[in-house]
Amino acid sequence: MAKPVLLQHMNEAALDADGKKYWNIFKEWNLRSDTGEAGPIVFTVLWDSLEKEVWADEVSRIKGAFVPYQSSLLEGILRDPVFKFVDNINTPQKETLSDDVLAAFKKIVPVLKKAAEEGRGSWAKFKDTHISHLTKLPALSRLHLPIGGGTHIINAAKADHGPSWRMVVSLTPETQAYGVYPGGQNGNPGSMYYDNFIDTWANGKYFTLWMMKKEEMADKRVKFKMLFNK
């Protein structure tokens, strides 16, 4: 929803060579947040920069004030190109949305260049999703997971927060269900089952969930049994 209005209000002639390079990446972005994409990097840092450009002058004057939700800015600029908050109340001139988009974008070009130089030019490496152990010890965590997704989309995997349980269920007479979670079936870091589901989770794959029936007690899929005596 944001891309068309950003494209409409960018003065490309005012960009230098680096700016045009990254703006073209944004223009050609297919709107997917897959692991190898560069477009979501440009959009994410641009939107953050634009929020500061629009709201900072008002927010800085009110103690304890906070920046409105991202949806508020999007709704405002989609409804009204002369959205009143795009003007910087600290300057004598009246800024437009085009002024703010250009200023916000120019500020992120060094950020994008630095990310590329550091080898973080793909979305997965820039976002750098990790699953931390409760102790926050890196040795007990899984770092640098190659996973796409992001904020406000179906695969809502951010740097340190995401879908801890995914499940798909077919509501048929015979239940068919699939699920996965980013962990394993053993809490022991020395066990092969400590994090054995994480790669499957990161790849967007699922395990078939067995809805066991009484008559399946002797099924070969039963690995262990625990007996309780009175």
Residues 205-217 have pLDDT tens digits of: 999 999 888 899 8
Query: Which pLDDT does position 53 carry in this prediction?
Result: 95
The answer to whether 206 and 179 have CB atoms below 8 angstroms apart is yes
Locate CATH 1.10.1400 in the chain. Answer: 2-126
Please tell me what DSSP assigns to residue 216.
G
Burial 34-46 (b: 16+ CB within 10 A, else e): ebebbbbbbbbbb
pLDDT in tens, 126-142: 999 999 998 999 999 99
**φ/ψ of residue 162, rounded to 5:** -175, -170
| Run of H or E including 47 | helix 39-59
DSSP bridge partners of 167: 179
Confidence class for position 26, pLDDT limits 50, 70, 90: very high
What single-letter amino acid sits at 40?
A: P
Q: How far apart are CA 175 and CA 65, in angstroms?
A: 50
81 pLDDT higher than 80: no
Spatial contact of 125 and 148, defined as CB atoms under 8 Å apart: no
Terminal CA-to-CA distance of the chain, rounded, Å?
A: 64
Position 80 pLDDT exceeds 90:
no
pLDDT of 61 reads 84
**Domain 2-126 in CATH 1.10.1400:** yes
Query: Alpha-carbon distance 164 to 161, whole Å?
Result: 8
